Structures are given as structure tokens and as C-alpha cells.
Structure 1
Amino acid sequence: MNERRPDYDPGAAYCRPAAMTYDVIDKDRPTAEWIERLSQRFPVEREIDRVLRRKLELRPGPSFGGANLERLVEGVRALIATIHSGDFSIVDPHWLTGGASKLQMAFTLDWIPPDGSPSLTRLVLRMEPAASVCETSRLREHQMLSLFEGIVPVPKAYWVDPDATFLPYPALIYGFSEGVTKPSRSTSNVTGLGINLGIELRERLTPHFLSQLALIHKAPIDHPALTAFDKPDTPYRAAEWALNWWERVWEEDAGEDIPLMRFAAGWMRHNLPRADRHSIIHADYRTGNFLFDEESARITAWLDWELAHIGDRHEDLAWTMSPAFGHYSEGGDFLTCGLLPETQFLARYEEASGLPAIPATLHFYRVLSAYKAIVIVLGAGFRNARNGKSHQDVLLVWLMGLAYPLLEELRSRLEEAI
């Protein structure tokens, strides 16, 4: 495995098990002292720290009480009016379905944009519920969409309400993108799991899928627009921040102590990989998170940039290769994201990007990917469903059932490394 980082201190406070146990911490009413201890024990980027602190500070508050379209339209109107000086009207607001994490409302804006030409612009409001299964920053998502416009297909970013000044919860507004997430005759599980594109679409979409991942990983990380992002300051920091993020969420949200999760966190802490370069990471790059045109087999938009950060490209590769997102081919080969067998997927990624897929680093992030998925469904998903904080309570409870095959994946990945 990777050489242990030279500054690693196994006695450091953030490496030790929590001093408080599950039976004495009321996670539904976290104290300011406990929130501070978690922040100190699991250092992450400043904006991520702010978002996670906010989540815990608001947790004792009311559960999700539904979102009224009229109230959202009023908030959107107030937000736009602070930025756009001309007349405008909001037409045909309606809910968008899909996704386990965010509320989404589509509408048409009748306005005269800065270019001076009257326009009917289709837009989407993306907003958190009372608590999200992935607690993230709308400001970071807005900045990432702005950065990648013209590099890979993304919705155009318009406005952001990062602190819920105008809307009930933090929100952003971006352009509506045409396309579908799966073939019209295909079926899939919730959140895009196990989409079968079919042989023809698979072959036509694969080059775009790989070339656009390569473009993301080779994009500049020092763009001045990325004010809400911190860059890793050592070769080990990317892995450390990623592990801290998800171990912290597990400590914040989990309802039971699972020894395998503590063992996995300890193993990762002792085997942090050295990044050979830093890249922008989408962090949820997979089928189900892009729209495409069925006729042309052209990807029209990459969605769900909420987890994006600056890190190690192997984190994206490992997440994309998760068994949850793939399926077996007609010939019996398991296909990464329903596209290619793993060895072919990695070879074609290396060809498209000119960057190597380092086996030991990739293995670390495959362990982390399984760990992260468990945190999301059995930690955050459990806590939000239990407290009634989401519009998707039933779905979150259903997703909890995925934790057990994920725990088996985590166990097998760890066994490979020991």
C-alpha cells in the first residue's frame, strides 16, 4: 500500500475514538461544546466546516413542514430583484421530481437579461430541505457550475442564496437543461442506480463520459472564482480532508456504533495516500447524474455538483466504479457505471486524460467510497428520516437497506489490503 505520511502521529486527537459514547450524546440536541469538539477533531475546508456546524446548530429546530410553491416564488422574486433592475415575471412554477437530497422547482422567467433581448428563460430553483442527506454548500455548487460553463456541459448558473436570506433554505438558481437520465424504455432503481443504457447507447456515450471526466480533472484549480474552496496544502491533505469529512458526518449522525466503520476509519487514517497532483473532483460522477439526448447520444448536462471539491482524481474514479452504479453486461462482464469493464474503463480514462490510475491510491479511495456511501445512507439518511427533516423520508428509509451490501463491500476491500 501507500507509504505512510512522514508527519503522521497515531496519538493525535483526531485519530482517537470519540471520548463520548452514543448512549450519552443526544445527537438530536447537540451542544455547542460537542459541535466545537467535532470541528477540532475532524478539520475540513472552511466552508464545509461552516455547513456542518450549521446543520447541527439547526438540528433541534422544527422538522420539514413542506414547501409551498407560492412562498418559493415570492423568495425567488425577492432574490432576483436584488440583482436584476429590470421588470420580470415568474411563469409556470412547478415541482421537479427525482433526487434524494434537494428540493427542485422549475419555472420560466419572462425578462430582459443584461444582453438587452427579451427572453423566456427556463430555470430551476435547487434548495435544501430542513436537513439534507448530503449537507453541502449552494455557494460552492454555484461556483463550480460557473467555472465549468464552456468546459463540459453544465446548466448555466444564475443566482445563489447561500444563507437563506430570501428562501426558506439555502438555494441556487440555474438554467433548465434538456435531456433524459436513462433511455425511455429503460428501468432503474431510485437515484439512478443500475441504469442499463443498452449496447448502442453505451458505446456512443462512453467516449463523452470519459473525455469529460478527463476535462474536469485537468481544469485549473486556482481559478479566482473558487472563493469557497480551500486547496490542499500538502500531498496528504486531500485524502485527510475527505476522510475527516465523512468520519465527522458519521459521528454527527449515526444511530449505532458499527465496529467495522471504526476499523475502516483507522485503517484509512494509517494509509493516507500521497496525491501526485490535485484536481477538481465532481464526487458524484456516474450514470443518473448526467442528462443526454437519446437521438444524438450527446451528454447535455452534468448535474449534482454539490459535493465537488479540490482533491485527488482517484476519488472520482473509485466512486464511479462503485458496484452500486454498474450492472452485468449481456456477456456476463460487470460494467462500471453500465459502460465498460473496470480494466477497460481505467485504460480508456488514462488514454483520455494522460494521467495514470495508481492502483494503491485507487484502492484507498475504493475503501473510502464504500465508507462514504454507508455514512450517507445509514448515518445522514437515518438521522434525517428519524427527525422528519426531509421531503423524502420514505426513500431515505429504503436507502438504508443498501447499507448491508455496502458494509460487505467495505469489509472485502479492507480484507484485500490487509
Structure 2
Amino acid sequence: MIQTVPDGEEVVATQAKASQLPSPPLLIVESVTEFMDTHGLGSGPLSWARIGDGQSNITYRIQRGREVFVLRRGPRPPLPKSTHDMVREARIQQLVRRAGVPTPEILAVCEDTTVLGVPFYIMSFLRGTIITDRIPPNLNSIEQREATSVALVDTLVDLHQLDVSSGELAAIGRPEGYLGRQVDLFSGLWDVNTTRNLPAVEMIGSWLARNIPDSQAASVIHGDYRTGNVMFAVRSPARVSAILDWELATIGDPLADLGYLTATYAEHGSIPTPLELTPVTRERGYLSRSQLITRYRERTDLDLESLPWYQVLALWKAAIFSESIYTRWLKGERPNDTTFGPALEIGVPQLLQGALRFTAINTAVSR
């Protein structure tokens, strides 16, 4: 629902009102209006609506008259170092869009933290379909369900085939040692983000460290590539009109994206986890995990024998990230979260169990 009246402590009308609150609001209408005026983005009164659940960064639909925009910002400060970097995220989107990847257009970036307390950016609003727990009518035939899965994989392949050997794209990350850095980084995050003992975290981390595969290629990797972060065109046939949420993008091993996509993908018979955000792919017509992998293998020259390692990495990282959300909920830092946070009490162990199952997969099936 589009709103025009400031609502509670999340959205307020003025900076003066914001200064009276115990914690900073997420949106200050006066400040955003002035920023948009400065950049020539629409005119007249501003209305808004929250988009998505915002477990990490937060997104708003902003409307001024007939013009619609999207504002994306990080959570309330203080923010952990090197996280929620809106300026970097916007820059990556600009670069990949210039290279032909379907993404919204970045219209303005605000680095001034006095405006909303954190940097943010405004991008174009695209009309399309994001598939979660309902299948849009235009993509609901058996043929279009399969086409949806194919488009999902093919778009990932296209992203991974961008040239990152030189130029501005090459500067957004360091592919050398990427996998080892990921294991080291997340190993160190567990103890600072938990209040409980889950031995599987250390067990899986040790297994990952002992079995790091050699990266075969370097590419732009999205870092959170899944069906729910892809927008499809409003008319059939199935076509990806935008890849969304570039917070974790970098230059690294492309199989990290494929591992994440397939490890978190819901298929018939798979055990649900907190990351199952598009459960409809369990239904008839959608490709299975093994079929997604086959499609990717047919369009690349990468050896996928070690893919289970990447799937383990994906679920292990997701468990550690989710534990930080659960800990914040326990501390009362997510007062309006009545479902996702409390569900992670069992959800995090489910992710770890999923990772352990992948460690036992016979990697020969991925040849």
C-alpha cells in the first residue's frame, strides 16, 4: 500500500521529528524529497511503500505524481565494517548494466549520511514479476515453468561470461584466493554473532578449509543469485528483465553462484530451509537441481565435479548470516519481526544439516 502520512518510527516527516526518536527512522520524507528535487527526480508530494522483507538492506517504492522510483538503503547504524555498502552496490549495478546485464538504472547516489543516517541510492522502477509463493498466470503453463528455469540459468551464464580481465569491472574484486577468504571470513563471524553452541559450524568450516577446490575461472558473481532476486517480464515467454540485490557482488569463482542457486533451490522432495523463498519451483514443470546443473554445464566449459563443495559453502555461510539475525532478534533489536527471526532457532540448524548432506554427495554425479 502506498502511504503519504509518516508512519510511526520507521518513516517520519521531518529531520526535526527524526531527532526526537530513540532510534533513527528509515525514511525521512522531507530529506528524501529535497534530495530528489536536487537530482530532478519527479515533483510534488512523495508517497512510499516498503518492498520485500528487508532482512539485510531495505527497499522502498517511491512515487511522486505519476513517476515511480525505488530507494535502497542499509539498515539502521551502526553497521559492521565493509557491509551494506550502498555506494559500491550502486556502482556495480552501473557497470554490469553498461555491459548488457539486465538491471534497473541507477538514477542518483547519496553518500551524505546526514540525509538518512546511511548512504542510499535511487534507481528506476521496473514493472515485472518476482516469483515467490505464487506463479504468475502468464508463466503458469508447464512449458513456461520450464522456460522460467531455463531463463534463470541462462542469465547466470551470461553474467559469468562478462569480460573481467581488465577495465572497471576487474577492479570490483580480487579473484585470487576468493574461496579461502570466504571460509576464513565466515569462520571468524560465528563466535561474534551467536549466543549458542552448534558444533556443526566448526565441523563444516574445517571440512571446507581442508577441501578448497582450485578455481577454474574468474567472473562477476552476484553472491545471492536465486529465483527471488530475478524479475521476469510481465508477458510470456519467460524472460529475465532484471537481476536485483547486488549487495554481495564481486569478482570471484562463478561456481559459488551456481552452488548457492542449486543448494537453496526448492525441488520436489527437498527439505525446506529458511532460504526456501520460492517454494513454487517444487511443482511440476520446473527444472530440478540436477537439470539446472546440466543446463549450466552445457553452456560453459567448467568442470562441475567439485560443485558439492560450493553447495556446502553456500548453506554454511547462510547459516552463519542467519544466526546473526537470530541473535539480533533475541536481543530485541528486531521488535517487529514476529516470524523470520524466531523461526531461525530451528532454521539455522536446518541449514547446517543441509550443508552436511552435501558433504556426503558423490561428486561423480556432477561430471
Q: TM-score surpassing 0.5?
A: yes
> Equivalent residue for 1:349?
296
1:407 to 342, 352, 356: 352
> Equivalent residue for 1:74?
30
1:207 aligns with 2:150: yes
Structure-2 separation of matches of 1:269 and 1:170: 35
> Equivalent residue for 1:304?
245
Letter in 2 for 1:104: T
Does the 8 Å contact 1:281/1:315 carry over to 2?
A: yes
1:139 aligns with 2:87: yes
Taking the TM superposition and a 5 Å limit, the aligned residue runs for 1:146-161 are 146-149=94-97, 151-161=100-110
2:59 to 104, 111, 134: 104
Does the 8 Å contact 2:133/2:280 carry over to 1?
A: no
Does the 8 Å contact 1:183/1:294 carry over to 2?
A: no
Structure-1 separation of matches of 2:309 and 2:103: 29
Does the 8 Å contact 2:59/2:72 carry over to 1?
A: yes
Root-mean-square deviation (CA, aligned residues, Å) is: 3.3
| Of 282-291 and 239-248, the range deviating more from structure 2 | 239-248
Q: CA deviation at 1:216?
A: 0.8
Q: CA deviation at 1:306?
A: 0.9
Taking the TM superposition and a 5 Å limit, the aligned residue runs for 1:2-401 are 66-71=9-14, 72-80=28-36, 84=39, 89=43, 91-99=45-53, 100-108=55-63, 121-130=67-76, 135-149=83-97, 151-162=100-111, 164-182=113-131, 186=135, 199-221=142-164, 224-226=167-169, 229-232=172-175, 234=176, 237-296=177-236, 297-322=238-263, 324-328=264-268, 339-352=286-299, 354-360=300-306, 362-377=307-322, 379-390=323-334, 393-394=337-338, 395-401=340-346
- Secondary structure of the 2:228 match is coil
Structure-2 separation of matches of 1:251 and 1:219: 37
Structure-2 separation of matches of 1:204 and 1:372: 30
User: Number of aligned pairs?
Assistant: 323
> Equivalent residue for 1:30?
none
Does the 8 Å contact 2:93/2:106 carry over to 1?
A: yes
Indicate how the Cα distance of structure 1 residues 227 and 314 shifts in structure 2: closer, same or farther if over 3 A, else same: closer
- Secondary structure of the 2:227 match is coil
Q: CA deviation at 1:370?
A: 1.3
Q: CA deviation at 1:124?
A: 0.8
Structure-1 separation of matches of 2:158 and 2:195: 39
Does the 8 Å contact 2:153/2:295 carry over to 1?
A: yes
> Equivalent residue for 1:16?
none
User: Which digits, 9 at most, give the CA deviation of each residue in 1:378-415, with x for residues without a partner?
Assistant: x2111221334447522222244322321211222234
Structure-1 separation of matches of 2:132 and 2:308: 32
Structure-2 separation of matches of 1:135 and 1:317: 23
Indicate how the Cα distance of structure 1 residues 300 and 108 shifts in structure 2: closer, same or farther if over 3 A, else same: same
Does the 8 Å contact 2:217/2:253 carry over to 1?
A: yes
Q: CA deviation at 1:66?
A: 3.3
Q: CA deviation at 1:224?
A: 4.5
Letter in 1 for 2:88: R
- Secondary structure of the 1:166 match is helix
Structure-2 separation of matches of 1:396 and 1:163: 31
- Secondary structure of the 2:122 match is strand
Does the 8 Å contact 1:137/1:162 carry over to 2?
A: no
**Identical aligned residues as a percent:** 26
Does the 8 Å contact 1:130/1:390 carry over to 2?
A: no
Structure-2 separation of matches of 1:258 and 1:73: 43
Structure-1 separation of matches of 2:174 and 2:111: 21
- Secondary structure of the 1:359 match is coil
Structure-2 separation of matches of 1:66 and 1:387: 19
Indicate how the Cα distance of structure 1 residues 109 and 94 shifts in structure 2: closer, same or farther if over 3 A, else same: closer
Indicate how the Cα distance of structure 1 residues 389 and 127 shifts in structure 2: closer, same or farther if over 3 A, else same: farther
Indicate how the Cα distance of structure 1 residues 391 and 325 shifts in structure 2: closer, same or farther if over 3 A, else same: farther
Per the normalisation by structure 2, the TM-score is 0.77
User: Which digits, 9 at most, give the CA deviation of each residue in 1:117-143, with x for residues without a partner?
Assistant: xxx642111122226899432122101
Q: CA deviation at 1:303?
A: 1.0
Q: CA deviation at 1:176?
A: 0.9
Letter in 2 for 1:174: M
Does the 8 Å contact 1:153/1:300 carry over to 2?
A: yes
Indicate how the Cα distance of structure 1 residues 144 and 98 shifts in structure 2: closer, same or farther if over 3 A, else same: same
Q: CA deviation at 1:337?
A: 5.5
Structure-2 separation of matches of 1:278 and 1:160: 28
Does the 8 Å contact 2:170/2:251 carry over to 1?
A: no
Q: CA deviation at 1:416?
A: 4.5
Structure-1 separation of matches of 2:262 and 2:155: 16
Indicate how the Cα distance of structure 1 residues 382 and 210 shifts in structure 2: closer, same or farther if over 3 A, else same: same
Letter in 1 for 2:48: H
Indicate how the Cα distance of structure 1 residues 294 and 201 shifts in structure 2: closer, same or farther if over 3 A, else same: farther
> Which segments of 5 or more consecutive residues in structure 1 lack a partner in the other structure?
1-64, 111-119, 188-195, 330-334
Structure-2 separation of matches of 1:78 and 1:221: 38
